[in-house]
């Protein structure tokens, strides 16, 4: 009896979709280049995922100095490290069992770091109270999202549990839903109006979903991945009111909260907006908000630090959460969260370098956003909604009918075909819209916008050459 | 509608068991001490879990220096760090995307580190080949175990999937099985013969299990937690033959492989023993072996680095694994695994300090093991099998009938009562046998043996005083 026959059908069903040919080909091309095979380009540019450091952005010195000193406390005696770095590391080590980042922590995270996160949230939301008891730290925010799904999704009973998700949504989350046995209820964002979320569309989707499953939760990503939009306060209020009317649990992915580029726009959290609504709503709508050390200007994806804050949940649920979140999260990821939410202040020795570094990263991303829009404006067959926030743009491809026909013949999605050829001919790796969901007969690709300037310029030149050629060939 | 009513019944069922009163009380006592409340002791000694650094053992300098230099590469220019540390950090950084430990890695782990692990396994097993393609790195070995369970356990169909597990087994794993919807099939280790594993007992358990579920896998922990035993080669061969006959998948937890104290005893992996058996067996028995950076002499629990090696699995299964293991493991945990499996060698600048530190940790644990046996020998009502390997002892409590009666009246397990009182009166935190499973009417507790010597001596004195008093009171 082979193990393959033993595999759970649930797991098998997760992977009915094709293999990730794009990533496999990217890895092959890299190997070919290393083996000296001739290409039109020297290396693959990977703008397929949201990873600042892979895109050449340098880590924040303050963060790395504190982390290094926590790992190797002999550095606390080192004259080359600033005083505030050493003080901070000393405090953090005092919060670790046995004074070592090598000890397990409480499975919800280190108590003092949960305090630090709740203070940050209170400041961010202009004084709306936050309690460390409602905060659970995990190995990345996706893990927190998975655990919340596990709480929500009924495996038994005649009707599948349904979760409303946006079209488009990033594929990791779609896979997590399938994995947990949820029914996916798609609602479409309105691309023409800058990927806005419209309540009529939510209602349509919910009522359609009720015919086949039992919808219990609404998932929102704000600022949006892959769309780069940010919701207005009015839009957030509408969504909350809808959730209250329809008794839906709100799962709010707010990992891009610190990345807002549009002038005169500030991130407002769902929790803050909720707290300022009528008390019949503000005290009842159940909400989980997710955040991460991976997606801010720090970009520390590899450390795996994320958390969820729970709002309006029955206290008895917290006991379930405590037990479900039962594995100690990586301690250095937790420290990264602490540093992200309690930054150097004016007057601190690390402040000048720190603020210079953050400003420089912000500038790079803003410049990239402008350059991307400029380049797209020059090209026929690509249009793009304004990029306001987050790490990605999701431009629309208006492909020639011949290209679409060819793709159909090859039994491949047209934007996948586009991305495969873009990779093959220029070495630029981006992801096709078909992975995220999109309106029928529309085509897109997702591009990471937060890479170093020269890498972005190189990527845009490759895209420009390829796109012009592709459109010509198929026109 | 409250969220509590929405919670999946599967999750609810996980937690029918009582709250962890012991840990809650330990935390309360710590808070009381901080608030200045008078106790017979200055602090809680926590020997409840397997955590070297919490127990006062110092981290290995070489490991921490390399990790610090990876986080803060300016240290590569630092004269105070040894040359081999800097070279190693430089190589490791070259294996990280964008040269930063802050980037995501491949979800199976960094390719070169998987190579390093396979080389280590080949050396460990005296040349038995190992391929990096069969190795998957995760955020701790428990995560790898969870993912393997997910592959194995059928959620649908009329019969529950069954997994054979030892009595006693640590509770995290029992919870993971319940969590995944598995039926638990308990087999008893033979305490009187040093917690040996006997095939007749495995067969009895399997046949009993087949009446109620569909057993597909056998879980082994060798060296054992909480039992401190290590299997002989003969015993391993018997188990493998049994698995072959009964077509069971072997899940082998070998995280304590580097912690063997008994003289003239060496750890032999299931994979090595399997490879040397008859080819009808060696080429067919499916096996997953787990290891971790948390449980060796390095004790880096907080970094969360574990892995699984798969043996004899259908190549098609690896594609499933690749997709199921879809979250990037913590990069520093991966580096810890690399360092654990490729240590400084004689002649390297770091070697003298490194080998001194490792030897000193080994000495501490050996001395502790002797002292524990000495103290237990002095006490009536405690008996203990020889401690041969791993991080724990699991002594048997021969409690007076009056103590058992009192516990029954209080509707609490007798060894839980013992542990609660031990904590209350002396501040020593150990775990009761009832959490691990034990033969009816037998009682135990689990004690972590790898703490600093003075902490262990303090703990043993507390235990001695308490135990003597307890036995007197109830005799």
Q: Which residue of B has its CA nearest to A216?
A: B6
Nearest CA to B292 out of B340, B342, B362, B326 is that of B340
Residue B281, pLDDT above cutoff 90: yes
Q: Which residues pair with B260 in a beta bridge?
A: B389
Residue A289, pLDDT above cutoff 60: yes
- Hey, which bits of A150-205 come out as E strands? 161-167, 183-188
Residue B11 banded pLDDT, cuts 50, 70, 90: low
Phi first, then psi: give them for residue B287, nearest 5 degrees: -145, 140
pLDDT at residue number B6: 59
Residue B442 banded pLDDT, cuts 50, 70, 90: very high
Q: Which residue of B has its CA nearest to A318?
A: B4
Nearest CA to B144 out of B321, B297, B299 is that of B321
Is the bond leading into A183 cis (omega within 30 degrees of zero)? Answer: no
CB < 8 Å from A in window 233-252 of B: 247, 249
Nearest CA to A107 out of A331, A302, A292 is that of A331
Residue A16 banded pLDDT, cuts 50, 70, 90: very low
Nearest CA to A47 out of A26, A66, A64 is that of A26
Which positions in chain B touch A143 (Cβ < 8 Å)? 327
CB < 8 Å from A in window 300-329 of B: 300-304, 313-314, 316-317, 319-320, 323-324, 326-329
User: How is residue B343 written in tokens?
Assistant: 């240590």
Residue A327 banded pLDDT, cuts 50, 70, 90: confident
pLDDT at residue number B7: 59
Over its C-alpha atoms, chain B yields an Rg (Å, rounded) of 23
Cβ–Cβ of B54/A103 closer than 8 Å? yes
pLDDT tens per residue across span B39-77: 999 999 999 999 999 999 999 999 999 999 999 999 999
Cβ–Cβ of B104/A51 closer than 8 Å? yes
Cβ–Cβ of B55/A151 closer than 8 Å? no
pLDDT at residue number B16: 43
Residue B245 CB contacts under 8 Å (≥ 6 apart), including other chains = none
Residue B14, pLDDT above cutoff 80: no
- Measure Cα distances from A153 to A345, B6, B353 in Å: 43, 8, 52
* b/e code B105-115 from CB counts within 10 Å (16+ = b): bbbbbbebbbb
Dist. CA B125–CA B307, nearest whole Å: 17
pLDDT at residue number B320: 80
pLDDT tens per residue across span B145-196: 999 998 898 777 778 999 999 999 998 888 889 888 899 999 999 999 999 9
pLDDT at residue number B1: 41
Q: Does A296 touch chain B (CB under 8 A)?
A: no
pLDDT at residue number A163: 97
Cβ–Cβ of A331/B10 closer than 8 Å? no
CB A160 within 8 A of CB A181: yes
Mean pLDDT of chain B: 93
Residue B386 CB contacts under 8 Å (≥ 6 apart), including other chains = B194, B262, B373
- The residue behind tokens 């404006």 is A377
Residue A26 CB contacts under 8 Å (≥ 6 apart), including other chains = A44, A46, A48, A423, A429
Which positions in chain A touch B156 (Cβ < 8 Å)? 9-10
Q: Which residues pair with A393 in a beta bridge?
A: A447
Dist. CA A395–CA B304, nearest whole Å: 38
Phi first, then psi: give them for residue A286, nearest 5 degrees: -85, 135
- The shortest C-alpha distance from A469 to chain B (Å) reads 30
- Measure Cα distances from B12 to B7, B8, B17, B21 in Å: 7, 6, 10, 18
Residue B20 banded pLDDT, cuts 50, 70, 90: confident
ipTM: 0.94
Packing angle, helices B453-474 and B351-378, rounded to 10: 10
Dist. CA B19–CA B415, nearest whole Å: 16
Over its C-alpha atoms, chain A yields an Rg (Å, rounded) of 23
Dist. CA A235–CA A219, nearest whole Å: 15
Measure CB to CB from residue A7 to each of B71, B103, B317 and give the nearest one.
B317
Dist. CA A11–CA A15, nearest whole Å: 7
Residue A135: strand, helix, or coil: strand
pLDDT at residue number A175: 85
- The shortest C-alpha distance from B252 to chain A (Å) reads 16
Residue A5 banded pLDDT, cuts 50, 70, 90: low
CB < 8 Å from B in window 147-206 of A: 150-156, 161, 172, 175, 181
User: How is residue B268 written in tokens?
Assistant: 């032999």
Which positions in chain B touch A154 (Cβ < 8 Å)? 8-10
A105-A108-A110-A112 Cα dihedral, nearest 10 degrees: -160
**Alpha helix locations (H) across B72-157?**
83-94, 111-124, 141-152
């Amino acid at each position: 009896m082979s193990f393959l026959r033993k595999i759970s059908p649930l797991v098998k069903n997760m992977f009915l979709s094709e293999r990730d040919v794009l990533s496999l080909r990217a890895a092959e091309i890299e190997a070919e280049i290393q083996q000296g095979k001739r290409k039109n380009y020297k290396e693959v540019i990977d703008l397929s995922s949201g990873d600042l450091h892979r895109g050449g952005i340098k880590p924040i010195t303050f963060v790395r100095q504190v982390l290094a000193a926590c790992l190797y406390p002999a550095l606390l005696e080192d004259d080359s490290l600033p005083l505030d770095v050493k003080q901070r590391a000393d405090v953090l080590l005092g919060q670790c069992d046995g004074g070592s980042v090598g000890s397990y922590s409480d499975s919800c995270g280190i108590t003092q770091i949960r305090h630090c996160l709740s203070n940050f949230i209170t400041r961010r939301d202009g004084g709306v109270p936050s309690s460390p008891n409602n905060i659970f730290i995990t190995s990345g925010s996706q893990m927190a999202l998975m655990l919340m799904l596990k709480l929500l999704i009924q495996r038994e009973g005649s009707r599948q549990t349904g979760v409303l998700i946006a079209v488009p949504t990033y594929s990791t989350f779609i896979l997590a839903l399938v994995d947990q046995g949820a029914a996916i209820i798609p609602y479409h964002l309105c691309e023409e109006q800058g990927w806005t979320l419209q309540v009529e569309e939510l209602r349509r989707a919910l009522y359609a979903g009720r015919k086949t499953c039992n919808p219990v939760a609404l998932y929102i990503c704000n600022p949006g991945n892959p769309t780069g939009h940010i919701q207005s306060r009015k839009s957030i209020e509408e969504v909350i009111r809808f959730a209250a009317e329809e008794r839906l649990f709100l799962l709010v992915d707010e990992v891009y909260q610190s990345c807002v580029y549009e002038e005169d726009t500030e991130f407002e959290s769902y929790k803050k907006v909720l707290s300022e609504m009528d008390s019949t709503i503000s005290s009842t709508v159940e909400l989980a908000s997710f955040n991460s050390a991976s997606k801010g200007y720090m970009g520390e994806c590899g450390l795996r630090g994320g958390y969820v804050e729970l709002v309006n949940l029955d206290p008895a649920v917290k006991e379930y959460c405590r037990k479900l979140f039962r594995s100690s999260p990586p301690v250095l990821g937790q420290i990264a969260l602490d540093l992200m939410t309690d930054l150097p202040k004016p007057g601190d020795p690390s402040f000048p370098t720190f603020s210079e570094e953050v400003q420089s990263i912000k500038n790079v991303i803003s410049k990239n956003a402008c350059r991307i829009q400029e380049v797209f404006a020059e090209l026929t067959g690509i249009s793009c909604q304004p990029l306001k926030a987050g790490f990605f743009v999701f431009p629309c491809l208006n492909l020639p009918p011949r290209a679409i026909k060819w793709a159909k013949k090859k039994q491949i999605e047209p934007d996948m075909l586009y991305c495969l050829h873009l990779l093959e001919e220029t070495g630029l790796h981006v992801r096709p819209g078909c992975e995220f969901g999109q309106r029928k007969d529309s085509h897109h690709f997702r591009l990471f916008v937060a890479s170093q300037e020269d890498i972005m310029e190189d990527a845009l030149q490759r895209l420009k050459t390829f796109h012009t050629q592709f459109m010509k060939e198929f026109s």
